[in-house]
Each structure stands twice: as C-alpha cells, then as structure tokens.
Structure 1
Amino acid sequence: MPVPTYDVLLETTAVISTILQFLSGVIICRKYIQKKSTGDSSGLPFVCGFLSTSFWLRYGLLTDEHSVVLVNIIGSFLFLCYTLVYYIFSVNKKSYLRQFGIVLCMLLGVWYYTNSIELEAEKIRLMGLICCIITVCFFAAPLTMLIHVIRMKIQKVYPSH
C-alpha cells in the first residue's frame, strides 16, 4: 500500500476539519429545537455561512478542485438546513427572510456576472476575491452576538441609556 503524499494528507485533513467546523451549527440548532425558539440570537452566521459555502462551491467548479467542491456541497447543504431551522424557530421571521433574500440576490447576481465574463482566468480571479471577502464576513458574523451582549451589559449598568 503506497504512503499518501504530503498534498493528499493535507487535503484530506483540510476537508475533514472544514466539515467538522461546518457541523458546529448542529449543536446550536439542537438548542433552538429544544427551546422551540431562537431567542435573541442572530441568524446572520447561518446566512453568511450559506453564502460563503455557495460562493466557494462556484469557485471549486470553476477551478475543477474536487475537494473544494465536495466540502462546499456539504457546507451549502448544512447551512441551508441551519437557516431553515433558524427560520422555523425565529421570533422575527420577516427580518430573517429579508436577510436570506439579500443573500440569494447576491448569490444569483455574482453567479450571473461571472458567467458573463469571457476569460476563464478572470472569472476565477474575481470569484476567488469575492470568496475571500465573504469568508471574512462569515467568520466575523458571530461578532454580532458579541455586540448584542455588550449592549445588554451596558443597559444593565446604565439603564437610562
């Protein structure tokens, strides 16, 4: 049996760790289901996760990177499920639908725009840039909860503000 090369080992590790990271939403959704409510938590990380994985899926298809395609098919499916669970138990469905609608418009707009670019290298470059920007937003999305916690603490300390 041949020993896997460094690239194969690194690729496999990256795929597994990324999928495990994407599965962290299961714990959060399980709490929503148990409580039958999302409470005052934000669904933005799920929406951003769906957008990010969908864009990376597009990038993987353009570059013919099988591991990127595999990871992001799984990621897009998981984040779509998380989004659905959040919506079902959300107290503010209208606002969440608006967020998801904006994400879908962005997704379709970028997909349409990149299809209109004739040079394959330019498509890939633009899609890679968009993916990087959205991924930063995806990882920053949980910070919305931090802002909320800080506001609540300030209101407790200074109730008149």
Structure 2
Amino acid sequence: MIVSQLTVVGHVRRAHSTKSRVAMLQPLASFVSSILWLKYGLLKNDHTVSLVNSLGVCVSLYILLEFWRYSHARHDVETRVLLALFVSMVCVGFVTTSSYVWAPHVYSIVCCLVSLVFLASPLGQLGQVLRARDASVLLPSVTFLAFANNVVWAVYGRVHGDPFMFVPNSVGAALCFVQLALIAWYGRMDAKALCDSAADMENVL
C-alpha cells in the first residue's frame, strides 16, 4: 500500500507539464500518520508496525520532495511540510516525555484520527466527482490496495486484541469501499479527455 502511493509521483509530473494541480493532503496525511504509527510501534514493541511505518516515512518524504520539485509555489509546499512535521514532533514529544499514565492512550487515539484523515482525504474531491460525474481524480490501484491493506491491518489488530489498530482500519476499509464504488459507478475519462480537463483540477488543500 505504501509503495503504491508512488503512482502519485507520475500524476505530479504530468500536472506540472499541464500547469494543473494535484491535491497534497493525502501525502501530507500519510507522512504524519507514518511518523505517529512508527512511534506507536516502538511504544508497543511491535516490530512489524515499526518497520512498515519506517518505510512509510521514507516513501512519503520522497513523494513530498517530488511535490516540491515540480511545484510552481515551493514556499507553500515547504510551509505545509514543516507544519506537518511540527504537529508530528509535538505528538511524539508529548508521549515520549509525559509522565501521565493516560498519555499513551491519548496518543493512540490521535494515531487513529490521523489515519482516518489520510484514508478519507481522497473523498475531499467528492464534490468534484459528483459535479463532473467522473472519478478520474480517484486512483483505482491506490484505492484498491488501500482497501486490501486496511482489511489486513484490521485483521491484524483483531488478532492482537488492539482496538486502536482494528477500529481505524475497519473504518478505513469502509471509506475505501466508498471510493471504489464511486470509481465503478462514474468510471474514468479516457486519456485524451483527461488531459483536456487536467487544467481544471483544483487543489484540495
């Protein structure tokens, strides 16, 4: 699932040549989510969660670097990435230094909420999909792999008795199913029509 996000890089490069924009919310949310879940894995001494999210941080950074590289407004990209990094460090610093017994519990809830923002971020373009009656802004491969990924992690959370992994991934699977339903219902424009409409795409974030 994490590696599948690299398909966004191709969209960023094409958007640069067509002077259009690609929504940045999803890779930003992925970056924050990966950092928080990496720390969660370390707190729980869960090497699987830590390893997967270490990879997630690296992939997200690469995607954000490509956004910066091809952006016509690099200052905006830098500001958003620094803000995301600041939020991540505040959360990690809180759970690392806090002596409150409830701190890990609160941190776990924050991890869940950030994951849901990441998984629901493509639905921020729902209005565009409904108005155009076209789901080209939703990526089928990424969405399908996200659905499968959430099902796997939901099962993993269930097996390990971890509600903080089971609940957000169950909801995430449902959100991905909604996106797949939109793709199946509205379909996607052919390549020529997609290129013609690329300049009209709006930036979500």
Same fold (TM over 0.5): yes
Change (3 A) 1:94 1:144: farther
C-alpha change, 1:35 and 1:129, in structure 2 (3 Å) is: closer
- Partner of residue 105 from structure 1, selected from 86, 98, 103: 86
Residue equivalent to 2:118: 138
2:48 paired residue among 51, 67, 75: 67
| 1:40 Cα deviation from its structure 2 partner | 1.6
Computing the radius of gyration from Cα coordinates, the structure with the larger value is 1
Cα distance change, pair 105–75 in 1 and its aligned pair in 2 (3 A): same
Alpha carbons 1:39, 1:90 under 8 Å: kept: no
Distance 1:142 1:92, change over 3 A: farther
Question: 1:104-157 CA deviation, whole Å, 9 max, x = no partner?
Answer: 1101111221122125x534312211100100111122223334556788xx9x
Mapped contact 1:87–1:93 kept (Cα < 8 A): yes
RMSD of aligned residue pairs (Cα, Å): 2.4
Q: How high is the TM-score relative to the length of structure 2?
A: 0.57
Equivalent pairs counted in the alignment come to 133
Name the residue aligned to 1:127. 107
Distance 1:105 1:73, change over 3 A: same
Q: Matched residues in 2 for 1:40 and 1:149: separation?
A: 16
Q: Aligned equivalents of 1:150 and 1:35: distance in 2?
A: 22
Q: Structure 1: how far apart are the matches of 2:104 and 2:48?
A: 16
CA distance in 1, matches of 2:73, 2:24: 10
Q: Is the 8 A contact 2:35 2:53 kept in 1?
A: yes
Structure 1: where are the runs of 5+ without partners? 1-20, 157-161
What letter matches 1:90 in structure 2? S
5+ residue gaps, structure 2: 134-199, 201-205
User: Is residue 87 from structure 1 mapped to residue 68 from structure 2 by the alignment?
Assistant: yes
CA distances 1:71-112 after superposition (whole Å, capped 9, x unpaired): 100111111111111111122322222211211110111122
Query: TM-score normalized by structure 1?
Result: 0.71
Kindly indicate whether residue 7 of structure 2 is the aligned counterpart of residue 27 of structure 1: yes
Query: Aligned partners of 2:74 and 2:50: how far apart in 1?
Result: 31
1:15-44, Cα deviation, whole Å (9 max, x unpaired) = xxxxxx112221120233356457221111
Opposite residue 27 of structure 1, the aligned amino acid is T
Fraction of identical pairs, as percent: 23
